[in-house]
């Protein structure tokens, strides 16, 4: 279909090309050959009179004009999927939707693992892709690269629709054989012992660091920075390091009896997780159906 000389099918391809910035991966998602995908890029370049993607070394970099196009194109396609095509796809039993959710391994293991079990029974053809927040910024929603993000409340952005999900407490863990740590940690121990920490988002800022420094005026010695809570656990085993992580996640893994949960020497604010999605998906029937399943699962968590 053409609209003012533009083949609208090319917008779908451009959206994927700008997201992947790679011909091979884009071709796989478009179910086309690499040569056909390169041909589409050539047609797009001719229409927009811009290179759009430029090969620099082994990577393709979007031009400034392409970056300007990325968000409005993603928004248009999200509107079409949610408000037009989505109106037809409101039967979970027959739906073949593929949902992309940005979430930490903590959220997946504690909350979403129950959701996928429930969805498999009601919508057997629905598939999921869990994307790490350490590789994708929150604004991936505005670019149409994900259907929703589940993140701490502090990461909430007013431009997105949202719903509260879970509340958890923070605890400290140490190796089961760590002789320097008893059941209760002192503030001096907390500051002097080495820490393993989880960086949040591509910028790798420490998710709890701001609160410790600004509110409590507490310092800690971070010796290892990881991209997920599971790795955090394994990198403190057989060492005297400690780490802070959500209580439900700690209790789930503590059943293996290779680390102990220790009370922190100070009170911490609750860890509140929220679900965010782009407003264009607000009335998408299947998206709304999945959101409700996640909210129902979160109610059992609390």
- Residue 180 located in a structural domain: yes
The answer to whether residue 249 scores a pLDDT higher than 80 is yes
- Residue 39 located in a structural domain: yes
CA distances to 174, 209, 212, 218, 266 from 215, rounded to whole Å, are 24, 10, 6, 8, 12
For residues 35 and 104, membership in a common domain is answered with: no
For residues 263 and 289, membership in a common domain is answered with: no
For residues 148 and 285, membership in a common domain is answered with: yes
Alpha carbon distance 85, 291 (integer Å): 18
For residues 175 and 235, membership in a common domain is answered with: yes
For residues 20 and 50, membership in a common domain is answered with: yes
Give the number of domains in the chain.
3
- Residue 76 located in a structural domain: no
Pick the last residue of a domain from 62, 80, 104.
Answer: 62
pLDDT value at position 167? Answer: 93
- Residue 252 located in a structural domain: yes
For residues 206 and 224, membership in a common domain is answered with: yes
For residues 204 and 263, membership in a common domain is answered with: yes
pLDDT value at position 148? Answer: 92
Mean pLDDT, the chain, whole residue set: 84
- Residue 78 located in a structural domain: no
Q: Output the six-digit token pair for 231.
A: 């790795």
- Residue 71 located in a structural domain: no
Burial (Cβ within 10 Å: 0-12, 13-18, ≥19) of residue 64 = exposed
For residues 182 and 262, membership in a common domain is answered with: yes
pLDDT, tens only, 27-84: 888 888 989 999 998 988 888 889 988 988 778 888 988 888 887 887 777 766 655 5
- Residue 134 located in a structural domain: yes
pLDDT value at position 202? Answer: 47
Alpha carbon distance 71, 171 (integer Å): 39
Owning domain of residue 137: 92-154+278-301
For residues 37 and 174, membership in a common domain is answered with: no
Please answer whether residues 128 and 96 qualify as being in contact, where contact means their C-beta atoms are separated by less than 8 angstroms: no
Lowest pLDDT segment from 153-157, 230-234, 244-248, 286-290: 153-157
- Residue 44 located in a structural domain: yes
For residues 48 and 25, membership in a common domain is answered with: yes
The answer to whether residue 297 scores a pLDDT higher than 80 is yes
Query: Residue 150 is part of a domain; what is its CATH number?
Result: 3.40.190.10
Supply φ then ψ for residue 148, to 5 degrees.
-165, 160
For residues 187 and 250, membership in a common domain is answered with: yes
pTM of the model: 0.70
Hunting for tokens 């009896």 — which residue is that? 257
pLDDT value at position 204? Answer: 44
Query: Residue 53 is part of a domain; what is its CATH number?
Result: 1.10.10.10
For residues 145 and 291, membership in a common domain is answered with: yes
């Amino acid at each position: 279909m053409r609209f003012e000389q533009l083949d609208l099918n090319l917008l779908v391809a451009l959206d994927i090309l700008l997201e992947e910035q790679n011909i091979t991966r884009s071709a796989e998602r478009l179910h086309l050959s690499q040569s056909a995908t390169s041909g589409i890029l050539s047609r797009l370049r001719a229409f927009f009179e811009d290179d759009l993607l430029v090969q620099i070394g082994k990577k393709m970099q979007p031009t400034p004009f392409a970056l300007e196009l990325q968000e409005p194109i993603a928004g248009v396609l999200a509107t079409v999927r949610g408000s037009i095509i989505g109106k037809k796809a409101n039967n979970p039993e027959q739906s073949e939707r593929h949902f992309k959710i940005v979430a930490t391994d903590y959220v997946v293991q504690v909350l979403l693992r129950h959701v996928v079990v429930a969805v498999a029974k009601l919508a057997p053809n629905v598939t999921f892709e869990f994307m790490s927040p350490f590789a994708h910024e929150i604004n991936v929603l505005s670019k149409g690269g994900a259907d929703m993000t589940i993140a701490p409340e502090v990461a909430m952005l007013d431009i997105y629709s949202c719903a509260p999900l879970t509340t958890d407490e923070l605890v400290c863990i140490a190796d089961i054989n760590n002789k320097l740590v008893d059941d209760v940690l002192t503030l001096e121990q907390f500051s002097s012992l080495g820490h393993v920490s989880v960086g949040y988002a591509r910028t790798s800022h420490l998710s709890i660091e701001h609160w410790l420094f600004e509110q409590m005026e507490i310092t800690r010695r971070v010796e290892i920075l990881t991209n997920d809570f599971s790795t955090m656990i394994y990198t403190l085993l057989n060492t005297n390091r400690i780490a802070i992580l959500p209580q439900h996640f700690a209790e789930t893994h503590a059943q293996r009896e290779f680390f102990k949960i220790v009370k922190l020497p100070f009170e911490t604010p609750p860890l509140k997780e929220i679900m965010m999605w782009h407003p264009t998906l607000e009335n998408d029937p299947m998206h709304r159906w999945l959101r409700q399943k996640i909210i129902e699962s979160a109610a059992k968590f609390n």
